[in-house]
A and B are shown apart, each in its own frame.
Chain A
Amino acid sequence: MTMFIIKRLISILITFFIVSVIIFLMMHAVPGGPFDGNDMPVSEAVRAKLMASLGLDKPLHMQYLNYMWGVMQLDFGVPFQSPGETVLELLARAWPPSLLLGGMGMLIGVPLGILLGMAAALRRNSWIDYLASAVATLGLTIPVFVISMILILVFAVWLQWLPAKGWGTPQSWILPIAAYAMIPMATYARYTRSAMLDTLNKPFVTVLRAKGLSERRIIFQHVLRNSAIPMVTVFLPMFVGIATGSIFVEAMFRVPGLGAYFVSSIRNRDYPLEMSLILMITIMFCLSYLISDIVYAWLNPRIRIEGRKE
């Protein structure tokens, strides 16, 4: 088991480095730096001075090495667009909104999705089943920004119940959270429904019924446990995806979170911020996959026991 973890960590590190090199090269491959195409053109001399002060005049591999060396020490540099703080500080400032809305989205979406899925599995071919399937499919098929748009159009423009811009009053959080909640809800509804249906059809459930166990006990103690594994393993990556801020939801609702800063960092060619964001998000995804794999291997008795036999 430990070997497995170590091997995966190494593989993650290697992937991480390769990704960082590729992104670094990509960013610098396009001509033009942070001071070109601005509203205020700067003279050549001033520009050269500014570039030097930011270390942009050094050869590429030096820039890369300097940057990665800093990353090792958790120093991600200073963003161009707000030199008053380090990248870390800016991220610390920008993250809470994403985390808050995303987290609440998951908090609402996951349980709702599970309930919907359970209801659908237990009352097959009833209206609940169709509703749940419809919700699941729509939530996963329609891109999140279209969903956001629909939510805005219906609730903010037409019915005028809720504000369209989402960062100020708690009311303004409702729509973004609803948008965030769609994907987890749809995913979990679908997973729960299919996993439960699979399990309910297994012979051991018939045996349990024959033994006389109450339906409720069967469901909660036996069926749910068996269905739980895929649902648990998908949780962490999904959380990472949402917690790092959906770019579109934030753009549409004007939320000052990670996603918004990512967009602006690209527009402004803010290299440190861009790199750091992508690297951080990539590492978080890698780690979340690793943890999910470990949790899965641990939870799945077949793998756990076989692992011990080695």
Chain B
Amino acid sequence: MTASDITEEKHYSPLYFIWLRFKGNRAAVVSGVVLLVLISMAVFAPFITIAGYDEQKFLERGLEGPSSEFWFGVDDLGRDFFSRIIYGARISLSIGFISALCTVLIGIPLGAIAGYYGGWIDWFIMRIIEIFSVVPPLLAAMLLGALTQGGFLTVVLIAALFGWVQVCLLVRAQVRSFREKEFVRAAHALGASPGYVIWRHLLPNSISPIIVGFVLAIPLAMMLEASLSFLGIGVQPPLPSWGQMINVGMNFMFFYWHLAVFPTAALAITVLATTFFGDGLRDALDPTLKDR
């Protein structure tokens, strides 16, 4: 090989192949676009809505159906429903992201330590995971929610509390399989500390499961929030939450269908989009993760 051959050859980094695989999954790409739209709408909420989410400006037009003036109608307390739904997107998406972030922040160190050191540390962490797996998460979440009267922060904590197990297991499995590889042994032979090995070698090689765990934790957190809010122990009014709105909407649904239909549709679309996007990402990053 001459020098010119080497410099002229085209370089395909691993990232390129990941992008190719992702592009082939139509559902994932569509979901990605949908998510982008949703996120933009949530971020630019003040610019596309005519009122705040708790401004009861339209009491005399209460319970009106959708029209060109009120795209989603007016709710029972005289608030513009479209605004409520859009701000609800903010709540759902932010809870989803923040919970997923906390999930990952808890799950990664625990998984890495359990996978790397093994022995009784691993045993201990696995026992904790077992306890968390046996109690139906929804019931326990409800208990916690009821005890703490709900609230934004509480919901985030609860979602993180029940989500970290998945990420922890993924990271642990990855670390365990890479621990015996020769490049790790080479690093040891060089005198590297365990911290260095985990940070520089094991974690970067676990990026795929970490990203997948993060992205798939988002819809789970959103569902948990919606469920808790539906029961009244999640996000509290006046903060708008789709779950809460569904609960209210059920009382009015026979005559004022818009109060039930729009939050339901919003929730369904958002959860579907994030799940398909996450699945697509997982398949693109590492097709072998499909069955875990």
In their complex, do chains A and B touch, with some C-beta pair under 8 Å?
Answer: yes
Which residues of A pack against B, CB within 8 Å?
Answer: 11, 15, 18-19, 22-23, 26-27, 29-30, 137-138, 141-143, 145-146, 149-150, 152-153, 157-158, 164, 241, 244, 247-248, 251-252, 262-263, 266-267, 274, 277-278, 281-282, 285-286, 289
Known: A146-B246, A153-B264. 6 other contacts (CB 8 A): A27-B147, A146-B267, A150-B264, A158-B257, A251-B230, A263-B231
Contact of B264 among A19, A146, A158 (CB under 8 A): A146
Which chain B positions have C-beta within 8 A of A289?
134
27 contacts between A and B (CB under 8 A): A15-B131, A19-B135, A26-B143, A142-B268, A142-B272, A143-B267, A146-B268, A146-B271, A149-B250, A153-B257, A153-B261, A153-B264, A157-B253, A158-B257, A164-B253, A247-B139, A247-B231, A251-B230, A263-B231, A266-B233, A277-B139, A278-B135, A278-B140, A281-B136, A282-B134, A285-B135, A289-B134
Which chain B positions have C-beta within 8 A of A18?
131
Scan B124-159; emit 1 where CB is below 8 A from any A CB, else 0: 000000110011101110111011100000000000
Q: In the complex, what residue of chain B is closest to A278 when comparing beta carbons?
A: B139
Which chain A positions have C-beta within 8 A of B148?
30
Which residues of B pack against A, CB within 8 Å?
Answer: 130-131, 134-136, 138-140, 142-144, 146-148, 219, 223, 226-227, 230-231, 233, 246, 250, 253-254, 257, 260-261, 264, 267-268, 271-272, 275-276
Q: Given that A141-B272, A157-B254, A248-B227 are known contacts, is A19 also in contact with B134, CB under 8 Å in the complex?
A: yes
Q: In the complex, what residue of chain A is closest to B242 when comparing beta carbons?
A: A146
**Are A266 and B134 in touch, CB under 8 angstroms?**
no
How many CB-defined contacts (below 8 Å) exist between A and B?
Answer: 101
**Are A23 and B261 in touch, CB under 8 angstroms?**
no
**Are B142 and A143 in touch, CB under 8 angstroms?**
no
B236 to A: closest C-beta gap in Å: 15
**Are A285 and B134 in touch, CB under 8 angstroms?**
yes
Instruction: Tell me the complex Cα distance, A198–B223, Å.
Output: 32
**Are A15 and B227 in touch, CB under 8 angstroms?**
no
**Are A15 and B134 in touch, CB under 8 angstroms?**
yes
Which chain B positions have C-beta within 8 A of A146?
226, 246, 264, 267-268, 271
B259 to A: closest C-beta gap in Å: 11
Contact of B143 among A27, A164, A252 (CB under 8 A): A27
Q: In the complex, what residue of chain B is closest to A22 when comparing beta carbons?
A: B131
Q: Which residue among A29, A137, A153 has the maximum number of chain B CB atoms within 10 Å of its CB? A: A153
Which chain B positions have C-beta within 8 A of A248?
227, 230
A165 to B: closest C-beta gap in Å: 11
Which chain B positions have C-beta within 8 A of A142?
268, 271-272
A122 to B: closest C-beta gap in Å: 21
7 nearest A-B pairs in the assembled complex, by CB-CB distance: A266-B146, A30-B147, A143-B223, A141-B275, A149-B264, A146-B268, A157-B253
**Are A281 and B139 in touch, CB under 8 angstroms?**
yes
**Are A15 and B272 in touch, CB under 8 angstroms?**
no
Which chain B positions have C-beta within 8 A of A251?
230-231
B102 to A: closest C-beta gap in Å: 20
Q: In the complex, what residue of chain B is closest to A12 when comparing beta carbons?
A: B134
Instruction: Tell me the complex Cα distance, A278–B147, Å.
Output: 15
Q: Given that A143-B227, A143-B271 are known contacts, is A152 also in contact with B253, CB under 8 Å in the complex?
A: yes
Instruction: Tell me the complex Cα distance, A66–B235, Å.
Output: 36
**Are B272 and A145 in touch, CB under 8 angstroms?**
no
Instruction: Tell me the complex Cα distance, A278–B131, Å.
Output: 13
B99 to A: closest C-beta gap in Å: 15
Q: In the complex, what residue of chain A is closest to B273 when comparing beta carbons?
A: A141
**Are A143 and B264 in touch, CB under 8 angstroms?**
no
B191 to A: closest C-beta gap in Å: 40
**Are A241 and B134 in touch, CB under 8 angstroms?**
no
Q: Given that A152-B253, A153-B257, A247-B138 are known contacts, is A274 also in contact with B143, CB under 8 Å in the complex?
A: yes
